[in-house]
Amino acid sequence: MRRALKNTFRLTPVPCLRRIPLSRRTVLRGLFAGATVSVALPPLDIFFDTNGEAYADGTGFPKRFGLWFWGNGILPEYWTPLGTGEGWSPSPLLEPLAGLTNEITVISGLEVKVANLKPHGSGPGGFLSGTDLKIAGEDETFRAPSLDQLIAQAIGGDTVYRSVEVGVAPGTGGRSYNGSDSKNPPELEPKALFERLFGASFTAPGEEAIIDPRLALRRSVLDSVMADAASVRDRLGQGDRERLEQHLDAIRDIEKRLIKLETEPPSFAACNRPSIPFDYPDIDGRPQMDARNAIASDLIAMAYACDLTRVVSIWHSDPVSDVLYEGASAGHHQLTHDEPGEQIQVQGIVKRIMGHFGTFVDALRNIPEGDRTLLDNCVILGTSDVGFARTHQIDEFPILLAGTASGYLKRGVHIRSDIKENASRVPLTLMQAMGMPVASFGEGDAYVETGLKEVVA
């Protein structure tokens, strides 16, 4: 039944097939699958559009957004690059990115303009959601969605996953919020991440769509679940209704995902099935951060390349993360407070984290899209929870950009603010770079209406 419908669908000439999965193999397979009517092959240029190959100039690929967050900030004194504009030279802490200065933009000197009430908490809340952190005793939550989710709501609907959240350090909880008290937990284990993205539900380009009557039955079960919810919804108060509504939205996403499984995957040239990752147990009480970061980088790069998602947040480590790095005499957070002087060990850890950021950027750059790279069609925001960790300041906030959002942004410049300008200008600029028609970001002192023109191409 489904098969027949599918063939009919294929036989309909459609002038623009950008989002409709169609490849030469698909069409030919349709021919041999018993269809008896004549087939009008679509013109070759459209044909190639779906293949990714016709984008010879590198345009037309979707834009992707990535948030790459690490805990415990920086040492501003050793962070700010020399020189502004293009050709910036790396500071000691940015040394690991020396080979990427033409790809990475550094924005230094901005301040997060919210009340800095909670060490390590107010910074990310203020920068990523533009609002004061909500604090109740030991509890804290963003008051508004985090930047990754604002973007996911706008552009995430077309892909298998609206957004993907990943944690690198074991136990990372992340700060991806759908709204107050509503967090998106990151995937922590490489194998679980692989299974979700590239496991049983993944079809690589050129592979047939999954023909399985169980998929439709699973959707009918979801309908039954929705009916259960509808029967009780009216009796709930406002807050509970919103909680349930988020649940039902997630079910609708599952339904869409099941439908996608029944159709051909998009045919991006660079997309292929990665190999299954290993387990990465701690060694001598220390997590294997290099390996965990590398595998997460590769899997996420491929998730972008296969257009499984266009919005990712990578939580390298949490605020206050006390990861015990190889060679360090104490946990990261403890060192930021207790190590005296120039904090050589903390510097070493920040450099190591920058190396991890570089690994991710490299993974994106190594994947071609047309005559550009995947990185060109991304914009990755690298940031943290504080500026100077020792004092929890949220001025001199660390902000890195990689990728140009398909040419919207400049490539590889250093922008410096000596007057502590509002950091909210960055999220506003990035939403605009992703094509969102937004005119402002943030609340109160963090409110802005103008983006950071200096980084726009």
Partner 1 sequence: MSCTKTSVFESTQHYLQTRRLCQLASVTGMRRQSKYYEASVWVVALCLLSWNMAGCESRTAVDLRPVAQDPTAFIESVTPGEPAIRKLTRDQFVSSIHDVFNADIAVPPTAEPDFVAGGLASVGASTTPYSPRGVESFEQVAYAVANLVLTTPEIRVRIMVCEPTAIVDSACAQQIIEPIARLAWRRILTEDELARLVGVVNSAAQTLSSFNAGLEFGLAAILQSPFFLYRFELGHSGRFTDYELASRLAYFLWNSTPDIELLDAAEAGELSTDEGLRASAVRLLSDPRARIGMRRFFIEYLHLEELLSLSKDPSVFAFYTTDLGESALEETLSLLDYLVFERDADYRALLTTTTTFVNPTLAALYDIPAPSSEGFARVNLPPSGPRAGLLGHAGFLSAHSHPVSTSVTLRGKAVRNILLCQDIPIPPVEVDTSIPEPSGTAPTMRERVAEHLESESCAACHLMTDPIGLGLENFDGVGRYRLLDNGHMIDPTGDLDGTDFLNARELGAAVASHPDYLRCLVRTMTRYATGRVETKEELETHITTLTNRFISQGAHVQGLALDIVLSPMFRRAGEGG
Binding to partner 1 in span 247-266, by CB under 8 A: 247, 249-251, 253-254, 257
Task: Give the nearer residue to partner 1 in terms of CB position, either 22 or 289.
Answer: 289
Torsional class of 368: left (φ above 0), alpha (ψ -120 to 50), beta (otherwise): beta
- In angstroms, rounded to a whole number, what is the distance separating the alpha carbons of residues 73 and 389? 5
Torsional class of 174: left (φ above 0), alpha (ψ -120 to 50), beta (otherwise): left
Task: Give the nearer residue to partner 1 in terms of CB position, either 212 or 371.
Answer: 212
Task: Give the nearer residue to partner 1 in terms of CB position, either 99 or 239.
Answer: 239
- In angstroms, rounded to a whole number, what is the distance separating the alpha carbons of residues 186 and 179? 16
Task: Give the nearer residue to partner 1 in terms of CB position, either 2 or 18.
Answer: 2
Cα 208 to Cα 3, 6, 8, 39, 87: the distances in Å are 12, 12, 16, 19, 47
The stretch near partner 1 (CB under 8 A) out of 39-47, 183-191, 259-267, 367-375 is 183-191
Residues 138-177, interacting with partner 1 (CB under 8 A): 138-139, 162, 165, 170-171, 173
Residues 107-136, interacting with partner 1 (CB under 8 A): 115-119, 122, 132, 135-136
Task: Give the nearer residue to partner 1 in terms of CB position, either 214 or 453.
Answer: 214
Binding residues for partner 1, total number by CB under 8 A:
77
> Which among 232, 92, 150, 76 has a CA at the least distance from the CA of 433?
150
Task: Give the nearer residue to partner 1 in terms of CB position, either 11 or 236.
Answer: 236
Site string for partner 1, 15-54 (x = CB under 8 A): ----------------------------------------
Contact criterion met (CB below 8 Å) for 240 and 232: no
Residues 355-394, interacting with partner 1 (CB under 8 A): 390-394
SS3 category, 71:
coil
Task: Give the nearer residue to partner 1 in terms of CB position, either 105 or 184.
Answer: 184
Q: What phi and psi, each to the nearest 5 degrees, are found at residue 146?
A: -80, 160
- In angstroms, rounded to a whole number, what is the distance separating the alpha carbons of residues 170 and 107? 29
Task: Give the nearer residue to partner 1 in terms of CB position, either 31 or 225.
Answer: 225
What are the structure tokens assigned to 208, written together?
């047939």
Side-chain half-sphere of 50: how many Cα atoms within 13 Å?
25
For position 227 contacting partner 1 by CB under 8 A, the verdict is: yes
The stretch near partner 1 (CB under 8 A) out of 32-40, 227-235, 311-319, 364-372 is 227-235
What are the structure tokens assigned to 312, written together?
């990712």
For position 181 contacting partner 1 by CB under 8 A, the verdict is: yes
For position 187 contacting partner 1 by CB under 8 A, the verdict is: yes
Chosen residue from 12, 15, 235, 419 binding partner 1 by CB under 8 A: 235
Encode burial over 261-275: b for 16+ CB neighbours within 10 A, e otherwise: bbbbbbbbebbebbe
Task: Give the nearer residue to partner 1 in terms of CB position, either 392 or 414.
Answer: 392
CA-only gyration radius of the chain, Å? 23
Contact criterion met (CB below 8 Å) for 103 and 411: yes
Within a 10 A sphere around the Cβ of 83, how many other Cβ atoms?
10
Q: How far is the CB of 235 from partner 1 (least distance, A)?
A: 6
For position 284 contacting partner 1 by CB under 8 A, the verdict is: yes
- In angstroms, rounded to a whole number, what is the distance separating the alpha carbons of residues 295 and 297? 5
Chosen residue from 330, 436, 438, 456 binding partner 1 by CB under 8 A: 330
- In angstroms, rounded to a whole number, what is the distance separating the alpha carbons of residues 332 and 356? 15
Chosen residue from 224, 419, 437, 453 binding partner 1 by CB under 8 A: 224
Give the residue ranges of DSSP H helices in 55-212. Answer: 122-129, 147-155, 190-198
Residues 395-454, interacting with partner 1 (CB under 8 A): none
Contact criterion met (CB below 8 Å) for 405 and 372: no
The stretch near partner 1 (CB under 8 A) out of 28-36, 60-68, 282-290, 426-434 is 282-290
For position 352 contacting partner 1 by CB under 8 A, the verdict is: no
Helix axes 213-233, 238-261, angle to 10 degrees: 170
The stretch near partner 1 (CB under 8 A) out of 42-50, 322-330, 348-356, 365-373 is 322-330
What are the structure tokens assigned to 220, written together?
């009918």
- Which element (helix H / strand E) includes 213? helix 213-233
The stretch near partner 1 (CB under 8 A) out of 66-74, 243-251, 259-267, 308-316 is 243-251
For position 324 contacting partner 1 by CB under 8 A, the verdict is: yes
For position 329 contacting partner 1 by CB under 8 A, the verdict is: yes
Task: Give the nearer residue to partner 1 in terms of CB position, either 121 or 274.
Answer: 121
For position 211 contacting partner 1 by CB under 8 A, the verdict is: no
Task: Give the nearer residue to partner 1 in terms of CB position, either 114 or 301.
Answer: 114
Side-chain half-sphere of 19: how many Cα atoms within 13 Å?
6
For position 334 contacting partner 1 by CB under 8 A, the verdict is: yes
